[in-house]
C-alpha cells in the first residue's frame, strides 16, 4: 500500500510550496523522461507511519488550445495513477477560467478530489474562498502551504482510508510494543539478556519467503530485454498471475531453488499474452515497484552513461531503504577503451554507493545475467540478517575501542549498547550518553564499522541513537 497524492492546479497557486512541505527528500525526482512532455516532480513523503508518494503535476495555464484534450492526454495522466487529487486554487487571486477548466475535467474523472484553497494567511479566508464552491467539488479545504497551516488536517482527510487501514495493523502490534519496557529497571546485562531472548523467540521469518525483485530503470535501458532473458532461461519456472494494466506485473518464478517474485515494470509478460501496445514508461509504477520490492535491480545503459534520472531513481531506492544491485547493460560490442572510460565514470559518480554490487551485462546476449542472482540473494540476506544484541554491542564496543567518540562540552560521549531495531533495511539502535551530540563523521564511522563487521552488502543501514538505557 503506497498511496499516491497528485497536486493539480494552474501555475503559481502554491503547488511547489506544498510539495516541498510534504516531501521528506530535498531532491525530488524530476521526470523529463522521453515520452512525458511535461516535467513532473515526484517525492517521497510520510504522514505518521504512512508513507506515500506526492506528484507535482506542473502547472496548466489555461491558455493551451483545447485544454481538456491536453489535460486528458498527458499532463494529468498522473491523475489516473493517483489515489487522491489535491486540486489547488489561489484564495487571494480568486477564481480564474483555468480553475474552471481543470475543475470540469476533474469532475468527469471520478477520482477522489479535494478542493484546496491556498494562501489563506492574512486574509478574510471564509469570504475569499466562497466563490470556489461554484466549481462543484464540495468542501473547500483552507490552507497556507507556506506556513503549514491546515496542511495536517488536509492530509488526514486525503489519506483517511489508508490511515485507517494502518491503524488497524498497528493495533495488532500494540502488545509487542509493550514488551519493550519490561527491562526498564534491569541492569544493562539483564536488559541485553532479555533482548537476546526476545530475538530468539521470533523465528526468522524471511528464510522461506520469496524475494521480491523489481527490475527498474529509465526507458530503453533494456528492462524488457532483460526480463525476457531471465524468463526465457530454462532453469526458471514461471507461474502466471493476473494483473491490472496500471500496475507492474508480478511474476512468481523459481531459480536455483530460491523463490522470487519478479516485479516487471516494463510489462513484458502482459504484452506477450494480450496484444497490447508497448506500455508507456510510468514513473509512479516504477516508484511503487521500488517500495514494494525487497531488492531492486537498477538497470543502467552503458552507452548512455549515468544520467541525473538514474541518480534520482537510485536516491529513491536508498531513501526507501531497499536493497540494490546495479546492472550496467549493453556491455556487448564495446571496445576496451570505451569500457575503461565507462568504468571511470561509474567510479566517479557512484562512489557513494560502493556497498552495492555492480554487474556488467548484456541482456541481448545473456552474458552476466545469471550472476545477477547471486548478488540479489546476497543483498536480501544482508537486509534480513538476524543479529542479536550481544553481538551488536560487542561490535559497537570494538568500534569505540578503536576510535574513541569525541568530547562534547568536556564530556566524552559514551556508547552503552546496541540492538537491532528492524530489518529491510537493517536498523541498529545505539544507546548511550549524549549520543545525540555525536558528530556526523563519527556516525558514519560507526555505520561503516557495523557494515564491515557484519558483512552487509547491497543494502543501506540505518543507525539510530537513543539517549540513556
| Residue closer to ligand GDP, measured from CB, 229 or 255 | 229
Choose one: 8-16, 60-68, 177-185, 456-464; the region binding ligand GDP (CB under 6 A). Answer: 8-16
| 61 annotated among ligand-binding-site residues | no
**Binding residue for ligand GDP, selected from 3, 150, 222, 405, defined by CB under 6 A:** 222
The verdict on 362 binding ligand GDP (CB under 6 A) reads yes
Residues 151 and 145: beta-carbon distance below 8 Å = yes
- Could you give the 3-state DSSP secondary structure of residue 400? helix
The verdict on 145 binding ligand GDP (CB under 6 A) reads yes
The verdict on 155 binding ligand GDP (CB under 6 A) reads no
In angstroms, the Cα distances linking 257 to 209, 254, 374, 377 are 12, 6, 12, 12
Estimate the share of the chain in helix, then strand, then coil, as percent rounded to the nearest 5: 40, 25, 35
In whole angstroms, give the CA distance from residue 56 to residue 38: 11
Cell of 49: 507511519
Query: What are the beta bridge partners of residue 238?
Result: 253
| Residue closer to ligand GDP, measured from CB, 223 or 359 | 223
In angstroms, the Cα distances linking 205 to 147, 148, 177, 335 are 44, 41, 18, 46
| 4 annotated among ligand-binding-site residues | no
Residues 349 and 304: beta-carbon distance below 8 Å = no
| Residue closer to ligand GDP, measured from CB, 119 or 288 | 119
| 273 annotated among ligand-binding-site residues | no
Residues 316 and 237: beta-carbon distance below 8 Å = no
CB of 92 to ligand GDP, least distance (A): 7
Site map (CB under 6 A) of ligand GDP, residues 318-337, x = contact? -----------xx-x-----
Antiparallel, parallel or unpaired: β 462-467 and 427-433: parallel
| Residue closer to ligand GDP, measured from CB, 119 or 431 | 119
The verdict on 358 binding ligand GDP (CB under 6 A) reads no
| 458 annotated among ligand-binding-site residues | no
Q: What is the CA radius of gyration of the chain?
A: 25
CB of 396 to ligand GDP, least distance (A): 43
**Binding residue for ligand GDP, selected from 30, 93, 109, 146, defined by CB under 6 A:** 146
In whole angstroms, give the CA distance from residue 147 to residue 17: 10
- Using CB positions, name the residue nearest to ligand GDP: 222
Cis check: omega of the bond before 424, within 30 degrees of 0: no
CB of 299 to ligand GDP, least distance (A): 7
Applying CB under 6 A, which residues contact ligand GDP?
9, 11-17, 59, 118-119, 121, 144-147, 217, 219-225, 266, 329-330, 332, 362-364
| Residues of each annotated binding site for GTP | 9-16, 56-60, 118-121, 217-224, 264-268, 329-332
Amino acid at each position: 500500500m503506497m498511496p499516491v497524492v497528485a497536486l493539480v492546479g494552474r501555475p503559481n497557486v502554491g503547488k511547489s510550496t506544498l510539495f516541498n512541505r510534504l516531501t521528506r527528500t530535498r531532491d525530488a525526482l524530476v521526470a523529463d523522461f522521453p515520452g512525458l512532455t511535461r516535467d513532473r516532480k515526484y517525492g517521497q513523503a510520510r504522514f505518521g507511519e504512512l508513507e506515500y508518494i506526492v506528484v507535482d503535476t506542473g502547472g496548466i495555464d489555461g491558455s493551451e488550445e483545447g485544454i481538456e484534450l491536453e489535460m486528458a492526454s498527458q499532463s494529468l495522466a498522473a491523475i489516473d495513477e493517483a489515489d487522491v487529487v489535491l486540486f489547488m486554487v489561489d484564495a487571494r487571486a480568486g477564481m480564474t477560467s483555468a480553475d474552471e477548466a481543470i475543475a470540469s475535467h476533474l469532475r468527469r474523472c471520478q477520482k477522489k478530489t479535494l478542493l484546496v484553497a491556498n494562501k489563506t494567511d492574512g486574509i478574510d479566508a471564509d469570504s475569499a474562498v466562497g466563490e470556489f464552491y461554484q466549481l462543484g467539488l464540495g468542501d473547500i479545504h483552507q490552507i497556507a502551504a507556506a506556513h503549514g497551516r491546515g496542511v495536517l488536517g488536509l492530509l488526514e482527510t486525503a489519506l483517511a482510508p489508508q490511515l485507517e487501514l494502518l491503524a488497524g495493523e498497528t493495533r495488532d502490534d500494540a502488545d509487542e510494543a509493550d514488551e519493550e519496557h519490561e527491562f526498564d529497571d534491569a541492569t544493562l546485562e539483564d536488559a541485553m539478556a532479555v533482548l537476546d531472548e526476545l530475538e530468539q523467540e521470533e523465528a526468522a521469518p524471511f528464510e522461506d519467503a520469496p524475494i521480491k525483485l523489481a527490475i527498474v530503470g529509465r526507458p530503453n535501458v533494456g528492462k524488457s530485454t532483460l526480463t525476457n532473458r531471465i524468463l526465457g532461461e530454462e532453469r526458471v519456472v514461471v507461474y502466471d498471475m493476473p494483473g491490472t494494466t496500471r500496475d507492474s506485473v508480478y511474476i512468481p518464478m523459481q531459480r536455483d531453488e530460491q523463490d522470487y517474485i519478479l516485479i516487471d515494470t516494463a510489462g513484458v509478460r502482459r504484452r506477450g499474452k494480450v496484444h497490447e501496445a508497448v506500455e508507456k514508461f510510468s514513473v509512479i509504477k516504477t516508484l511503487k515497484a521500488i517500495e514494494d520490492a525487497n531488492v531492486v535491480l537498477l538497470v543502467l545503459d552503458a552507452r548512455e552513461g549515468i544520467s541525473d534520472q538514474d541518480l534520482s531513481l537510485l536516491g529513491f531506492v536508498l531513501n526507501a531503504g531497499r536493497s540494490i544491485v546495479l546492472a550496467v547493460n549493453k556491455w556487448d560490442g564495446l571496445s576496451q577503451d570505451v569500457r575503461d572510460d565507462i568504468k571511470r565514470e561509474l567510479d566517479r559518480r557512484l562512489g557513494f554507493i560502493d556497498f552495492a554490487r555492480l554487474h556488467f551485462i548484456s541482456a541481448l546476449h545473456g552474458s552476466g545475467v545469471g550472476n545477477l542472482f547471486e548478488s540479489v540473494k546476497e543483498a536480501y540476506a544482508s537486509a534480513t540478517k538476524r543479529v542479536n544484541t550481544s553481538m551488536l554491542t560487542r561490535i559497537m564496543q570494538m568500534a569505540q575501542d578503536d576510535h574513541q567518540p569525541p568530547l562534547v562540552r568536556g564530556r566524552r560521549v559514551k556508547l552503552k549498547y546496541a540492538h537491532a531495531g528492524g530489518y529491510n533495511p537493517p536498523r541498529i539502535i545505539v544507546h548511550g550518553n549524549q549520543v545525540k551530540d555525536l558528530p556526523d563523521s563519527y556516525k558514519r564511522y560507526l555505520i561503516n564499522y557495523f557494515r564491515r563487521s557484519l558483512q552487509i552488502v547491497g543494502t543501506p543501514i540505518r543507525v539510530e541513537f537513543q539517549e540513556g538505557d
